[in-house]
Chain A
Amino acid sequence: MVGVLGGTPATETHAFYSTLVNSTANSFSAGTLNIGDNLAAGTTLSMANLVAGDSFDAQLDIANSGSLNLLYSMTSSVSGSGVLADTLQLTIRAKTSNPCSARDGTSLYAGSLASAALGDPSHGAQPGDRTVSAGNTDSLCFTVALPTSATSTVAAQSLSATFVFLAEQS
C-alpha cells in the first residue's frame, strides 16, 4: 500500500501538458567603417619653386569603402617654415561636375595653410563635418596659392603639410 501512494506524485508530474513556440534566426551583425583617398602621399599635392602669384589646383577623393555611412573631418599639420605656412593660402571646395580648375564649388575652407581644417574630429556630428554614404566618394578641390603680396621673407622656404581625414559613423 505504501508503494502505490509513493508512485502517484511522479505520475502527475509526467502528465503535465507543456507547449513551446520559437522565434528563430534573429540575427545581428556589425557593419564596417573604412575611409580611403586616391592620392599617393607626397606626390600630387607638391609643388616647388613657387613665386608670388602662383597657384595650383588638385583633386582629392575621399572614398567610403565601408558598409556604414560616415562623416569625416580634416585636420592638418605642417613641418618646416612656419612663415611660409602662414603665407600660403589654401582653399578647399566641394568639387562640381567641372574640373577643379574651374574653382566653382562651394568653399569649405579658405585661409592659411597653417590652420587648414574641416569640421571637428570630436565624437559626433559637428558643423563642417562632411558626410559620405557607404560606397560613395566625396571629391574635394584643393587650391594652394602664394599671394602676390608675399614678401621676400618666404623666399627659399619650404614646408611639408599633412592632412589627416578622420572618419566616424554617421
Chain B
Amino acid sequence: MKLLLLATIATGLLATAAGRGTMAYFTTQVTSTGDQFSAGNLHFNINDNNESAGGLTTVASSITLSNMKPGDSVYAPITVTNVGTLDAQYGVKYAATGGASDLTPQLQIALVGKGSGAGANTDCKSSSFTDTTKWNEQVAPSLATLAASHTFVASNSAVAPITDGAWVASDTTAGAYLVLNHSGAATLSSDTLCVEVTFPDGGAPGSLTTGDNAFNAASAGTWSTTLVFTIDGQQRHHPVEFDQPTAPTTGNY
C-alpha cells in the first residue's frame, strides 16, 4: 500500500510540468485560398484551300490532281488551328490507298510547315521548300517516294523542339514534335503545312511500254492513289507551380 501511493504522486508531478510548457508556445497561421482547378480542353480544327469554314475536323480534297503526267507537281496548304485552351504538341502522318493500279510508288511527296515563319498560305509553292524564312518548319523539304503510310512527325514524341515553331537540323534527327499553342496565345495557335506531290519525269521512255509509259493506261485514272493526312495532337506538358511567395515584412521569431 505504501508503494502504490508513491507511484501516483510521481505521475501527477510529471503531468503538471508538461501543461505549463504548452501554454508558453507562440503560434501563427496564414492561408492560401482560391486555389482552383478546372479541366482544360484540347481540340484542333482543320482548313484547306477549298474548305475554310470554322469548326471543321475533317476536310477533303485538300491536294488533288487528276490526269497527271510525268513532270506534274501540285501544291496545297493545310491549316491546323488549336481551338482549345491547352497548349499542344502535334504530329503529321499520311496513309495512301492505291486505285485499280497503284500509282503510289511513282509519286513523291514533300512537306514543310509555316511555324513561326512569315509565310502566307498562298506562298505554298515550289520555292516554299527551300524558303526557311517563310516556312520555318522544314520537316521534309526534299521529295521522297510516297509510301503506303508514313509518319513525318510523331505526336507523342518525347523530344521538344529546340525552338517552338522553327525546325533546325538537330530536330530532324531527334524527331521533335511540332507545337500549337492554345487558342488565346499570341503566337503559334495556328500552323499551316505546305504539301507537294509530284509525278517525276523519268525522261524519254525506251519503248511504248517501258519507263514512264508503263503508267500510260488505256483509260485515264487507271493508275491512281488516294492520300489521307492525319494531324494528331496531345496536350503539351507544363509544370504547375504555386505563386512565388513574397518576403514577409513582419513576423514572429
Give A residues with C-beta under 8 Å from B: 16-34, 66-68, 122-123, 168-169
Contacts and interface: CB of A to CB of B under 8 A. Distances in A.
Contacts of B224: 27-30
Most buried by B among A17, A22, A29, A122: A29
Given A28-B197, A29-B224, A31-B220, A22 B229 contact: yes
Interface of B: 40-46, 48, 56-71, 74, 78, 80, 84, 86, 88, 99, 103, 106-107, 155, 197, 199, 203-204, 215-235
B232 A19 contact: yes
B64 A26 contact: yes
Contact of B66 (A21, A24, A27, A66): A27
A26 B61 contact: yes
A123 B46 contact: no
Contact of B58 (A24, A30, A32, A123): A24
Contacts, number: 156
Given A17-B234, A18-B233, A22-B58, A169 B70 contact: yes
Contacts of B78: 23
Contact of A28 (B42, B65, B218): B65
B9 to A, nearest CB: 45
A140 B134 CA distance: 51
Given A19-B88, A19-B234, A21-B45, A29 B61 contact: no
Most buried by B among A24, A26, A169: A26
Contact of B68 (A17, A25, A30, A123): A30
Most buried by B among A16, A18, A66: A18
